[in-house]
């Protein structure tokens, strides 16, 4: 699909994207590159990184890959520094690296819980912390955009509760809290905007194939307000809005991009029945005012 944004909205900017080698992270990398940014991607698997970097370069995007695990602080330090050395600045950090698997709370070991907290929550904070000194300089001299900007990818799982996702719900709640707190502190101190995106189920991603097997997927269709899965493109366009000057007054916001799914619940009454039932109830309440026993009327 064609982008509604001008192709130079990120011209001259440098973005570092964790988990940028696949899924949503890769699409964000691609769209940022197509809109003028130079892109560094971070991931654990060299093969995946190499493949992604070649794909980005084949689109004419200045791209580089750095191996690293967001759970390791030394990796975070090295990747952030390498990005700065390679491109000479860092304007945008996107935390898209995540870990997930389906498991009942009863069967989840504390180490399994900790592993996802380490990747999603601690990893996000570590990357933000390591990138801060460069983001402070990012965007300087560009007028309206102030300092650099951070984008954290979370989820909607923790807005209510989600089956077999206690670890990820807890981890994403911490990511959202981190987003808001950094937006407050770093927005005030350094003009760095920090926002998030909470994607719903997005087709053709590692997350979807792990969490929603095909047979579950077709049954879940009735509960989707827009009646379809999201696309990686939908998330990347929201990301472009948030990190570009289009979002220059948006700070501490977590944009839900899920077609309204998190609001959805089964109908308790068919739409046609509402008209009839509603009129009957109205009529009855006029004849028998609530709280007034028939004997007193
Ligand atoms: N069910 C229950 N527990 C699981 C599990 C599963 N499917 N997968 C891993 N665990 C537990 C392990 O048993 C282990 O706990 P233990 O030591 O008490 O046994 C703990 O989680 C760590 O597992 P391990 O395989 O050593 O972790 P890892 O660092 O190699 O991999 C994961 C991390 C598990 C998050 C892995 O799925 C991953 O690398 N994910 C990244 C990609 C991804 O998930 N993308 C989707 C994003 S939405």
The closest-lying atom of ligand 1 relative to the alpha carbon of residue 210 is: 46
Listed as own residue / partner, the contacts of 102-109 with beta carbons closer than 8 Å and 24 or more positions apart are 102/164, 102/165, 102/210, 102/211, 103/164, 103/167, 104/164, 105/164, 105/166, 108/166, 108/167
Residue 210 beta carbon below 6 angstroms from any ligand 1 atom: yes
Residue 206 lies in a domain: yes
Take atom 44 of ligand 1 and give the residue whose Cα is closest: 99
Q: Where are the beta strands (DSSP E) in 8-116?
A: 14-18, 38-43, 63-67, 92-95
Q: Whose CA is nearest to atom 41 of ligand 1?
A: 99
Q: How far apart are CA 295 and CA 219, in angstroms?
A: 51
How many separate domains does the chain show? 1
Res 290: pLDDT: 67
Q: What is the pLDDT of residues 158-217, one digit of tens each?
A: 999 999 999 999 999 999 999 999 999 999 999 999 999 999 999 989 888 777 766 665
- The answer, yes or no, to whether any atom of ligand 1 lies below 6 A from the CB of 3, is no
Residue 280 lies in a domain: no
Distance CA 56, CA 29 (A): 8
Write out the residue range of the structural domain in which residue 173 sits. Answer: 14-266
Flag whether 126 is in a domain: yes
Residue 294 lies in a domain: no
Is residue 292 domain-resident?
A: no
Nearby residues of 140 by Cβ (< 8 Å), 6 or more positions away? 147
Is 151 among the domain residues?
yes
Residue 121 DSSP one-character state = I
pTM score above 0.85: yes
pLDDT at 221: 63
Residues of the chain with pLDDT under 50: 140-144
CA–CA distances in Å: residue 248 to residues 34, 196, 201, 257 = 20, 14, 27, 19
In a domain, 284, yes or no: no
- Angle, vertex CA 96, rays to CA 95 and CA 100, nearest 5: 125
The separation between CA 269 and the C-alpha centre of its own chain, rounded to angstroms, equals 34
CATH number of the CATH domain containing 114:
3.40.50.720
Q: Which of 193, 112, 120 is nearest to 153 (CA)?
A: 120
Q: Report d(CA 49, CA 39) in Å as an integer.
A: 12
Ligand 1 center to 132 CA (angstroms): 29
CB-CB contact of 92 with 243 (8 Å)? yes
Residue 297 lies in a domain: no
Q: How far, CA to CA in Å, does 88 sit from each of 51, 190, 191? A: 24, 19, 20
CB atoms under 10 Å from CB of 285, counted, come to 10
pLDDT for the residue 288 = 83
Distance from Cα 101 to the centre of ligand 1, integer Å: 7
Give residue 143's pLDDT. 45
């Amino acid at each position: 699909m064609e982008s509604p944004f001008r192709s130079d909205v990120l011209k001259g900017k440098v973005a570092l994207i964790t988990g940028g080698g696949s899924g949503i992270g890769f699409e964000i990398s691609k769209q940022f590159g197509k809109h003028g940014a130079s892109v560094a991607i971070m991931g654990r698997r060299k093969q995946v990184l190499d493949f992604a970097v070649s794909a980005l370069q084949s689109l004419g995007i200045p791209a580089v890959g750095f191996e690293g695990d967001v759970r390791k602080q030394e990796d975070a330090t090295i990747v952030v520094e390498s990005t700065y050395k390679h491109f000479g600045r860092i304007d945008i950090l996107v935390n898209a690296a995540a870990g997930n698997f389906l498991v009942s709370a009863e069967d989840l070991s504390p180490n399994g819980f900790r592993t996802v907290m380490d990747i999603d929550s601690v990893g996000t904070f570590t990357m933000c912390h390591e990138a801060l000194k460069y983001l402070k300089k990012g965007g300087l001299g560009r007028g309206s955009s102030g300092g650099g900007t951070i984008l954290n990818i979370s989820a909607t799982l923790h807005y209510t509760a989600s089956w077999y996702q206690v670890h990820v719900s807890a981890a994403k709640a911490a990511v959202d809290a981190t987003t808001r707190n950094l937006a407050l502190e770093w927005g005030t101190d350094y003009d760095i905007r920090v926002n998030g995106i909470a994607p719903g189920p997005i087709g053709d991603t590692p997350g979807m194939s792990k969490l929603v097997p095909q047979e579950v997927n077709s049954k879940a269709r009735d509960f989707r307000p827009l009646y379809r899965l999201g696309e990686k493109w939908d998330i990347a366009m929201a990301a472009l809005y948030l990190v570009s000057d289009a979002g220059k007054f948006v700070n501490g916001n977590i944009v839900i991009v899920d077609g309204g799914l998190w609001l959805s619940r089964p109908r308790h009454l068919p739409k046609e029945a509402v008209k009839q039932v509603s009129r009957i109830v109205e009529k009855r309440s006029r004849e028998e005012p609530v709280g007034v026993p028939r004997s007193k009327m």
